[in-house]
Amino acid sequence: MLISTSRLQNLSFKHFRRLSHVFQFTQKPVNSGSLDHIAILMKQSNWEQNMHLKSLVSHMSPESACKVISLHSDNIALCVRFFKWVCKQSTYCYSIDSRIHLLNLIMHGNLFGVLHKVIVVLIKDYSYTVNEALRLIDVLDDIRKFGFRISYPCYSTLLMCLSKLQMGLPAFSVYKRMVSDGFVLGSIDYNTLINALCKNGFVRAAEMFVSRIVKLGFNIDVHISTSLVLGHCRIGDLKEAFQVFDIMSQRDGCGTNEVTFTILIHGLCEAGKLTEAFALKEKMVLNGCQPSTRTYTVLIKAICDSESTDKAIYLLDEMVKKGNNPNTHTYTILIDGLCREAKIEEANAMFRKMIKDGLIPGTITFNALINGYCKQERVVSAFELLAMMEKRNSRPNIRTYNELMEGLCRIGKPYKAMTLLKKIVENDLRPETLTYNILVDGFCREGQLDMAFRILNSMELLNLKSDGFAYTALIDRLSKEGNLDQANGVLGVMMKKGITLDEVTFTVVIDGYCKNGKTENAVMCFNQMVKHLTLTTPHIFNSLIDAFNKDSKVGQANAMLGKMMKCGVTPSVVTYTILIKGDFQEGNINQSLKVFELMKRFNCPPNVYTYTVLIDAFCENGKMEEAVKFLQTMCDTGVSPNVITYTILIKSYVKLGDLEHAFGILNDMVKDKCPPNFDTFTTLLEGLVTSRNGKNASFTVFKEMSPTHVVELLQKAKKHGVRDSDLNSFLIMGLYKVGRIVEGYELVQETVKNGHFPDNLVCSQIMEHLCHEGKYDDCLMWMKLMFDHGPMPSFASYCCLLDGLRKEGKIQEMKDLMCDYLWKAGVEDRDGVLAYMESLVNCDERDECLELLNVVEELNHRERPII
């Protein structure tokens, strides 16, 4: 077992590291005097609230708990209360295994009156998961072998638990045991069993029991019929489901209720028939059956799954107006849907509304919002939610930490992600395969391959079965670094371990060969692969075709296209675009245009990248008229040019010295609401500087430019609709990058006076540049400007500055900046999240991370420790 939360939650990492060497793995016995004292305290009123009693039992073993129960064996109700209470208070009675151990001790102590009641408590209160329920079934089997007769209430309660967990087959097994033990089942038991079977889609078995209850003289009521509707929906047989529904709706039928309608609506939603689902909702009202919170929640989920959260929120408003208050599940669905659409502020507002309405967010709710923040790289807000979970006693699960780890890896902080293993251990959780996959991938992305291999090794020591993801991530990184021999070695290990090589792994391997100029090896690998694997995507073919084109082997590229068709894989827009680019590189413009027409004929419309490749090719060949014509064709077919498309044309005109046409393209950009980027403005500025100086400006344009150049750029760009704020942001960044900081700062002041300020991306890039140059005071001043005027710096740039201040020993400035950042991020509970912030911004400590891995590996092979 792992270390309990209560014992480690206040320990520093260094203390935690030392503990790995001093754990004792035996439980300290509680003396008989203490047990008598506990038994006496239990006779007082409100004894469960007694803080002294809580401290006495905080580390009570199951053996000691059983002795206390035996001291009150004449008061069964009190014993059951104590059982429930000690399972929550003692770190050694918390897990399902320790509770079962206590149950066995009660049995061996011949406390049978207590045992019957305690079994019911275990089934009712502690069977939250399928694994826990199966574990309890095994325990009941063991108890029966000892000659203990399981009572009818135990069996009946177990049936209800299994039905709730959608465990139809185990429920049927329990039914058979009840019969073999001589129990006569009541109508409620048959209803429960039929419901359990239907939840798993065992409709025929359920119908068999329906026939049986008819013979026994029980009525087929609305509950049984609704279960049958559910069963048919679960197997996707909506026709049969509606037939049962029609029989229920007949005059002599059992009638329908809100649950029946909701199940059918859910079945329609699952089949993608949203229109029919909403029509059934209206029919429901006409039949005098009002939609419930669950009905609306089912529809809201279906709408969110179709990425239409605006419509879902409209339905939420209707739901409230109809008198149905949303529950935790409703809000969680909406929060998750908003996060998937990157509407994080709306998701956060929904979360706050949920709390305001008096609902308690569950772990799933927190996880959805944490995931949303992490995907947008807003890890501070994600850790604020973790602090809120801990404060509200909403216990984080392994998914919570997986989401946070992935968020930290997204911002290039895999070492910080790894330190969360400590939190996993503290919360009595075990890392899973996904946990280690995230870490391996994170370290691979940062080029920290030695750590990635160490984590992979740790997976094996923990007996976690790899699904190939971690190995594929390593092969991909090694290939990108040109270490093909080592990548092949990892591939060999995968095969030796019997891990299935899927299409993703082969794509990575073949792409690695192609990128490193080993096309022959890629072809050999491909030929072996097609013998054993059915390809479903064009990615591998695209890599090979692109490699052939780069080697000027157009014939082999076309042959690979033929093999692609033979394998039944449809060429994608990327495939055609690669072919078009290859033909252009070979000077075969006519063939490129033929492929372009071919893709339209085969119902594969060209996208912005296809058109951009063609326009770039025409520009490279000096055919500006054809390039402009293709730009017009592109717009006429409804494909919007992007900033790269426009900038290619602008560069070509600047290269020809035709600034008038270059600025004309800029005008088109602005009209099409395509914001120019840094590269666009740089190209135009280079054109102005070159035209005046008579030499190529290149990147030194910001050193070469004079106020005259700036004024001319501003005048021409503004004439074509470019905003002052965009131009100023561009100039500010350029000035800072070449060290003209004073002029850059003056321009910032002028921009602020006009009510504008550079956006987050510009600000973060300037900060990172200043830190790289060691100009931390300038960077600090810049960040304070950001705090005053709106933009939020990226977490990476913020950490760069803190690291610089730390190097210069400016500790107070660091602390002030940390508080300012939390305030700017809108963190309400700053004290709760401050400890996490300090950990995140500290330097990476490789040795401590390795020590932590060792601790986790050791704990996996030991019993529960006592400190």
Output the six-digit token pair for 191. 């209803």
Residue 368, pLDDT > 90, answer yes
Residue 569 to residue 3: CA distance in whole angstroms: 52
In a domain, 578, yes or no: no
The one-letter amino acid code at 566 reads: K
* Least confident residue range of 9-13, 459-463, 781-785: 9-13
Q: For 311-363, how does the pLDDT look when each residue is reduced to its tens digit (9 = 90+)?
A: 999 999 999 998 999 999 999 999 999 999 999 999 999 999 999 999 989 99
Q: What are phi and psi of 24, to 5 degrees?
A: -110, 135
Q: How confident is the model at residue 720 (pLDDT cuts 50, 70, 90)?
A: confident
Q: What is the pLDDT of residue 862?
A: 53
Q: How confident is the model at residue 289 (pLDDT cuts 50, 70, 90)?
A: confident
Residue 12, pLDDT > 70, answer no
In a domain, 141, yes or no: yes
User: Which residues contact residue 114 at a Cβ distance below 8 angstroms, ignoring those fewer than 6 apart?
Assistant: 69, 73, 76, 79, 80, 83, 106
**218 in Cβ contact with 251 (< 8 Å):** no
Q: What is the pLDDT of residue 24?
A: 35
In a domain, 324, yes or no: no
Residue 684 to residue 239: CA distance in whole angstroms: 65
Output the six-digit token pair for 345. 């502020």
Structural domain including 804 reads 724-826
Average pLDDT, rounded, for the chain:
86
Alpha helices in 605-759 (DSSP H): 608-620, 624-636, 643-655, 659-671, 678-693, 701-704, 707-719, 724-737, 741-753
Q: How confident is the model at residue 7 (pLDDT cuts 50, 70, 90)?
A: very low
Q: How confident is the model at residue 390 (pLDDT cuts 50, 70, 90)?
A: confident
In a domain, 132, yes or no: yes
Q: For 441-500, how does the pLDDT look when each residue is reduced to its tens digit (9 = 90+)?
A: 999 999 999 999 999 988 888 888 888 899 999 999 999 999 999 999 999 999 888 888
- Which one has a higher pLDDT value, 75 or 34? 75
In a domain, 172, yes or no: no
**605 in Cβ contact with 597 (< 8 Å):** no
What percent of the chain has a predicted confidence (pLDDT) above 70?
94
Q: What is the pLDDT of residue 513?
A: 93
Alpha helices in 462-538 (DSSP H): 469-480, 484-496, 503-515, 519-532
State whether residue 866 is helix, strand or coil.
strand
Q: What is the pLDDT of residue 200?
A: 92
**192 in Cβ contact with 174 (< 8 Å):** no
Nearest-10 Cα torsion for 208, 211, 215, 217: 120
Rg of the chain, C-alpha, whole Å: 34
Q: How confident is the model at residue 274 (pLDDT cuts 50, 70, 90)?
A: very high
In a domain, 815, yes or no: yes
Residue 209 to residue 206: CA distance in whole angstroms: 5
CB atoms < 10 A from the CB of 183, how many?
16
In a domain, 765, yes or no: yes
**Cα dihedral across residues 178, 179, 184, 187: positive or negative:** positive
Give the number of domains in the chain: 2
Q: How confident is the model at residue 31 (pLDDT cuts 50, 70, 90)?
A: low
Mean pLDDT of 204-224: 90
Residue 6, pLDDT > 50, answer no
- Which one has a higher pLDDT value, 751 or 185? 185
Nearest-10 Cα torsion for 108, 111, 117, 118: -40
Q: What is the pLDDT of residue 860?
A: 62
In a domain, 52, yes or no: yes
Q: For 300-315, how does the pLDDT look when each residue is reduced to its tens digit (9 = 90+)?
A: 999 999 888 899 999 9
**292 in Cβ contact with 260 (< 8 Å):** no
Q: In DSSP terms, which residues pair with 866 in a beta bridge?
A: 24
Q: The CATH number of the domain where 779 resides is what?
A: 1.25.40.10
Q: In DSSP terms, which residues pair with 24 in a beta bridge?
A: 866
Q: For 500-549, how does the pLDDT look when each residue is reduced to its tens digit (9 = 90+)?
A: 888 999 999 999 999 999 999 999 999 888 888 888 899 999 999 999 98
| Closest to 348 in 3D by CA, of 825, 758, 754, 865 | 825
Q: For 652-670, how does the pLDDT look when each residue is reduced to its tens digit (9 = 90+)?
A: 999 998 999 999 999 989 8
Q: What is the pLDDT of residue 22?
A: 34
- Which one has a higher pLDDT value, 452 or 763? 452
Q: What is the pLDDT of residue 140?
A: 87
